[in-house]
């Protein structure tokens, strides 16, 4: 009988190197939101990959960064706690960008996590020529002695199976940790809040993304109908930000509602009535009490 392996892996890397996109591609379903904005991921989200020979639990975490607020510090603490517990850390470096100070900083941080086996993942391989990819693989190999270096493209679905096998092979022998139908341990409410936040992040200015948080007041299915009513709040820190989210005559909020409703309907499999309210929670990223209320 072949041995079965199971365990936890986490991807690290600078913002926008494709960690959440890669997690979603490996799981085969969207469980982590993606955005071009840094610090999009705010919680440790688990995605579960099932194979006959093993089970891979991917923990998608916020990016390691130098924090400027209490929220930033809490996100960093969460990353460090997560990385201290996983079996494998995959360091994601994009194929189309030279290794820079941010990568060097993270590579140094990896020395703290002695328990984990380290793998380098060169993401976005579809964006470069074979020669450029070979050069990047060489540059990555010089950072340290890796257990493996795997180039992948989440978008082109290239080498995903190779990466899955590499990661599972590095896991301890173990029975499955989650039942075969599980793809995440995130609650439905959390996933819906994240989809609304993802839509809210689209096209906003740089300082705003960090200030957005989403909560759900009420969610219920209408009697005898395939329709769910969702009443949600989008929190920002200042009145001026509230204006940006709502947009001219409410145009932006309508767009956020439309985008997120389509994603939520995909997730729950039927029609949704979505009501969004924008509220101000002054300086919530720096206020322990408000952070607690908003789930951090």
Q: Give pLDDT tens digits for 240-280.
A: 889 888 888 999 999 999 999 999 999 899 999 999 999 98
Q: What is 196-242 written as a DSSP string?
A: HHHHHHTT--TTSGGG-EEEEEEEEEPTTSSEEEEEEEEEESSHHHH
Provide CATH 3.30.300.20 ranges for the chain.
Answer: 188-293
What does the block give as tokens for 98? Answer: 């030279």
Q: For residue 280, which phi and psi values (nearest 5 degrees)?
A: -105, 125
> In 3D, which of 22, 254, 292 has the Cα closest to residue 158?
22
Structural Rg of the chain based on CA atoms: 20
- Report the pLDDT value the prediction gives residue 260, as an integer from 0 to 100: 93
pLDDT above 90: percentage of residues in the chain: 49
Q: Among all chains, which residue has been given the structure tokens 């993942």?
A: 121
Question: Distance of CA 146 to CAs 56, 110, 140, 142, 229, Å?
Answer: 19, 12, 9, 9, 49
Give the CATH class of 5-169. alpha beta
d(CA 130, CA 110): 28
Q: What mean pLDDT value characterizes the chain?
A: 86
What does pTM read for this prediction?
0.72
Which ranges in the chain are annotated with CATH 3.40.50.300?
A: 5-169
d(CA 106, CA 121): 14
Please determine, looking at this structure, whether the domain spanning 188-293 carries the CATH number 3.30.300.20.
yes
Residue 153, pLDDT > 90, answer yes
Is the model's pLDDT at 28 over the cut of 60?
A: yes
């Amino acid at each position: 009988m072949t041995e079965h392996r199971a365990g936890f892996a986490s991807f690290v890397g600078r913002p926008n190197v494709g960690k959440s996109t890669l997690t979603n591609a490996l799981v085969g379903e969207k469980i982590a939101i993606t955005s071009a904005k840094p610090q999009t991921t705010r919680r440790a989200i688990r995605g579960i990959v099932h194979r006959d020979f093993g089970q891979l639990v991917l923990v998608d975490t916020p990016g390691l960064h130098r924090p400027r607020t209490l929220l930033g510090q809490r996100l960093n603490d969460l990353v460090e706690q997560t990385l201290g517990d996983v079996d494998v850390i995959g360091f994601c470096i994009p194929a189309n960008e030279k290794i820079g100070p941010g990568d060097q900083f993270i590579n140094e941080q990896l020395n703290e996590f002695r328990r984990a086996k380290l793998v380098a993942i060169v993401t976005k391989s579809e964006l470069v020529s074979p020669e450029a990819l070979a050069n990047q693989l060489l540059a990555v190999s010089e950072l340290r002695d890796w257990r493996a270096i795997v180039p992948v493209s989440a978008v082109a679905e290239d080498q995903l199976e190779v990466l899955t096998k590499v990661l599972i092979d590095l896991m301890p022998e173990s029975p499955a940790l989650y039942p075969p139908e599980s793809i995440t341990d995130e609650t439905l409410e959390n996933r819906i809040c994240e989809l609304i936040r993802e839509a809210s992040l689209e096209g906003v200015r740089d300082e705003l993304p960090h200030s957005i948080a989403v909560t759900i007041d009420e969610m219920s299915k209408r009697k005898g109908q395939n329709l769910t009513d969702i009443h949600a709040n989008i929190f920002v820190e200042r009145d001026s930000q509230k204006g940006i989210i709502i947009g001219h005559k409410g145009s932006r909020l309508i767009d956020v509602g439309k985008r997120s409703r389509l994603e939520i309907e995909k997730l729950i499999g039927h029609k949704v009535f979505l009501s969004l309210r924008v509220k101000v929670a002054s300086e919530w990223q720096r206020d322990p009490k408000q952070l607690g209320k908003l789930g951090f």
